[in-house]
């Protein structure tokens, strides 16, 4: 399976699209970076990474609540200087030690149930591709789209490749994939936990709020969207 979902599934008429952090798993991108930081082979690098992360947490919290794009642009600068091969290796470790143990019990059941109903399973997340890939394989997803770091000579620059997976860009990507694969979005489903994912939920005929924050819960109640609470 590749990140860019291929176009061989033309016969598939509907899909289920999932946000990941807070929707399928308890952890988020900060937990993942913390794992990278504490496993930095250099003591100085480890202390610097951890210190920078801790100092930025108040800003990250605010940005995550009010401007997901600003959060991503700022947060992923922490990865500047990491080598691509090390990020890939640690991505597998993060899945084993951080992601899989924090998968909501109800999430695996939800994916199995919707797959049995004949819909493709697609992850759409602001997490990094090197972390999302093993999760997608584990869940048996039919495709995924995640944020991707920019590399120069195999070293992360601290910038994300475009398009950034946040807010309306998730909805735009889902529309593009639907055109490529022939999905009927009116018959498709989407699951997310954050108010920033309202565009993603609104692009399908069957949106569902999962572990919703206040903004999304209010929206879901107003529009009679189903609400699932896994946590």
Q: Catalytic positions, please?
A: 19, 21
Start-to-end Cα distance in the chain: 29
What are the tokens at 80? 């500047």
SS3 213: coil
DSSP strand E in the chain: where?
Answer: 15-18, 120-128, 143-147, 149-152, 155-160, 189-192, 206-210, 227-228
φ, ψ of residue 118 in degrees (nearest 5) = 95, 10
* Cβ atoms within 10 Å, residue 172: 14
Residue 42 CB: number of other CB atoms within 10 A? 9
Question: What is the DSSP code (8-state) at residue 229?
Answer: -
Q: Which of 164, 187, 181, 155 is nearest to 80 (CA)?
A: 155
Distance of CA 197 to the CA centre of its chain: 11
The answer to whether the beta carbons of residues 193 and 20 sit under 8 Å apart is no
In 10 A of CB 61, how many CB atoms? 12
């Amino acid at each position: 399976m590749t990140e860019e979902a291929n176009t061989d599934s033309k016969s598939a008429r509907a899909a289920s699209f999932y946000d990941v952090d807070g929707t399928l798993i308890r952890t988020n991108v900060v937990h993942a970076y913390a794992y990278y930081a504490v496993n930095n082979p250099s003591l100085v690098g480890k202390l610097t990474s951890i210190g920078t992360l801790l100092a930025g947490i108040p800003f990250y919290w605010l940005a995550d609540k009010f401007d997901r794009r600003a959060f991503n642009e700022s947060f992923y600068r922490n990865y500047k200087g990491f080598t691509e091969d090390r990020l890939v290796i640690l991505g597998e470790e993060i899945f084993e030690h951080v992601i899989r143990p924090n998968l909501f019990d109800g999430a695996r059941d939800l994916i199995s149930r919707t797959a049995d109903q004949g819909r493709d399973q697609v992850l759409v997340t602001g997490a990094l591709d090197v972390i999302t890939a093993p999760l997608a394989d584990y869940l048996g997803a039919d495709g995924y789209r995640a944020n991707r770091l920019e590399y120069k000579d195999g070293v992360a620059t601290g910038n994300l490749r475009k398009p950034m997976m946040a807010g309306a860009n998730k909805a735009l990507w889902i529309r593009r994939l639907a055109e490529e694969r022939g999905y009927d979005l009116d018959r498709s489903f989407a699951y997310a936990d954050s108010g920033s994912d309202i565009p993603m939920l609104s692009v399908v005929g069957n949106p569902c709020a999962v572990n919703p924050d206040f903004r999304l819960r209010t929206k879901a109640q107003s529009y009679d969207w189903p609400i699932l609470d896994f946590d």
